[in-house]
């Protein structure tokens, strides 16, 4: 028990935070030592397990990330972009592994993560599931095999509380399709069509986002040609999928050199 990687979960009360705390607590390969929420949250100072409506876990929810990180080996962070940037600086200071599931980060925020990656081992992915990471490989392969007569469209659906679009997963799939085509996603990305948009530009990669109910996460990569369509699809039916991937990443990161990694590295699927 004493030698198991010690894990802190940020965003403890969130959909993913709760799933992560349950997954870490149930694992015999790591141990939960901290739970962080934003200042003023009503879970602060209370036992994380009791807050979730279960038995006590012996871990008090705190808003002092620096103190929690100081006695941990890894932090698993599914929160919000501004919070993740702050946690990255603190994780680098504490020299611990930072597993990042947060999506919706802009270029400036990503640059701050790169800076933190000089001192910390950062593992970041818009989707931590094995299935989606495999789908990125398939997407790249199909995009490379087909010419631009096949229009690529990425359609994603999520619950009605999601705040960012396109989803982190959709962007991963878009990057993979662009790589397959040998182009930069930024040059061909077409998202948020509305009104008189003019006809589709050949070679563009389109994004459409559906938001509703309790959809956990669904992604289609559509290759639409003349007379045929190819659809690659992933459907998540349980959030534990993402949590298990994140815990695997936190354990994989132990003893790794500082730098930025992704789930393909963790899963042994990187080129």
Ligand X SMILES: O=C(O)C1=N[C@H](C(=O)O)CCC1
Ligand Y SMILES: NC(=O)c1ccc[n+]([C@@H]2O[C@H](COP(=O)([O-])OP(=O)(O)OC[C@H]3O[C@@H](n4cnc5c(N)ncnc54)[C@H](O)[C@@H]3O)[C@@H](O)[C@H]2O)c1
The beta strands (E) that lie in 163-204 are given as: 189-191
**Cβ atoms within 10 A of the Cβ of 271, count?**
5
Q: CB–CB of 7/73 below 8 Å?
A: yes
17 assigned binding-site residue: no
> Which residue in 167, 174, 262, 267 binds ligand X (CB under 6 A)?
167
Q: CB–CB of 169/127 below 8 Å?
A: yes
> Rule CB under 6 A: is residue 162 a binding residue for ligand X?
yes
Token pair recorded at residue 104:
């919706």
Select the binding partner of residue 158 from ligand Y, ligand X, none (C-beta < 5 to 8 A, by kind). Answer: ligand X
127 assigned binding-site residue: yes
Helix, strand, or coil (residue 156): strand
Select the binding partner of residue 135 from ligand X, ligand Y, none (C-beta < 5 to 8 A, by kind). Answer: none
> Rule CB under 6 A: is residue 244 a binding residue for ligand X?
no
55 assigned binding-site residue: no
> Rule CB under 6 A: is residue 98 a binding residue for ligand X?
no
State the catalytic residues: 158, 162
What is the SS3 string spanning 95-146? CCEEEECCCCCCHHHHHHHHHHCCCCEEEECCCCCHHHHHHHHHHHHHHHHC
Contacts with ligand Y by CB under 6 A lie at 10-11, 13-17, 36-38, 41, 78-80, 83, 101-104, 125-128, 168, 242
Q: Which is nearer to ligand Y, 82 or 114 (CB)?
A: 82
- Residues that bind ligand X (rule: CB under 6 A) add up to a total of 9
Please return the burial class of 210, using the count of CB atoms within 10 Å of its CB with bins 0-12, 13-18 and 19+.
exposed
Q: Which is nearer to ligand X, 71 or 82 (CB)?
A: 82
> Rule CB under 6 A: is residue 84 a binding residue for ligand X?
no
Write out the H or E segment, with its range, that includes residue 181: helix 168-181
> Which residue in 126, 180, 206, 245 binds ligand X (CB under 6 A)?
126
Write out the H or E segment, with its range, that includes residue 66: helix 65-70
Residues 71, 117, 83, 96, Cα dihedral to 10°: -10
Which parts of 169-228 interact with ligand X (CB under 6 A)?
169, 217
Judged by the rule CB under 6 A, the positions of this chain that interact with ligand X are 103, 126-127, 158, 162, 167-169, 217
Q: Which residues are part of a known binding site? A: 11-16, 37-38, 101-103, 125-128, 159, 168-169
Q: Which residues are part of a known binding site for NADP(+)? A: 38
Q: Which residues are part of a known binding site for NAD(+)? A: 11-16, 37, 101-103, 125-128
């Amino acid at each position: 028990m004493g030698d198991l990687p010690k894990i802190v979960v940020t965003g403890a009360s969130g959909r993913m935070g709760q799933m992560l705390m349950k997954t870490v607590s149930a694992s015999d390969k790591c141990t939960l030592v901290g739970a962080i929420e934003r200042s003023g949250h009503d879970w602060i100072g209370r036992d994380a397990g009791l807050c979730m409506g279960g038995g006590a876990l012996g871990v008090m929810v705190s808003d002092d990330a620096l103190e929690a990180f100081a006695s941990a080996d890894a932090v698993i962070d599914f929160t919000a972009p501004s919070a993740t940037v702050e946690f990255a600086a603190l994780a680098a200071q504490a020299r611990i592994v930072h597993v990042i599931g947060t999506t919706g980060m802009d270029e400036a925020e990503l640059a701050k993560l790169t800076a933190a990656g000089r001192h910390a081992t950062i593992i970041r992915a818009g989707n931590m599931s094995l299935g989606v990471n495999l789908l990125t490989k398939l997407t790249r392969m199909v995009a490379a095999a087909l010419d631009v007569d096949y229009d690529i469209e990425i359609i994603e659906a999520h619950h009605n509380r999601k705040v960012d679009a396109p989803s982190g997963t959709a962007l991963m799939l878009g990057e993979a399709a662009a790589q397959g085509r040998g182009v930069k996603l930024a040059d061909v990305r077409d998202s948020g069509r509305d009104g008189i948009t003019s006809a589709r530009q050949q070679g563009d990669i389109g994004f459409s986002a559906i938001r509703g109910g309790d959809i956990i996460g669904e992604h289609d990569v559509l290759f639409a040609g003349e007379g045929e369509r190819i659809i690659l699809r992933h459907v998540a039916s349980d959030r534990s999928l993402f949590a298990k991937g994140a815990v695997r990443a936190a354990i994989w990161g132990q003893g790794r050199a500082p730098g930025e990694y992704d789930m393909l590295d963790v899963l042994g699927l990187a080129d």
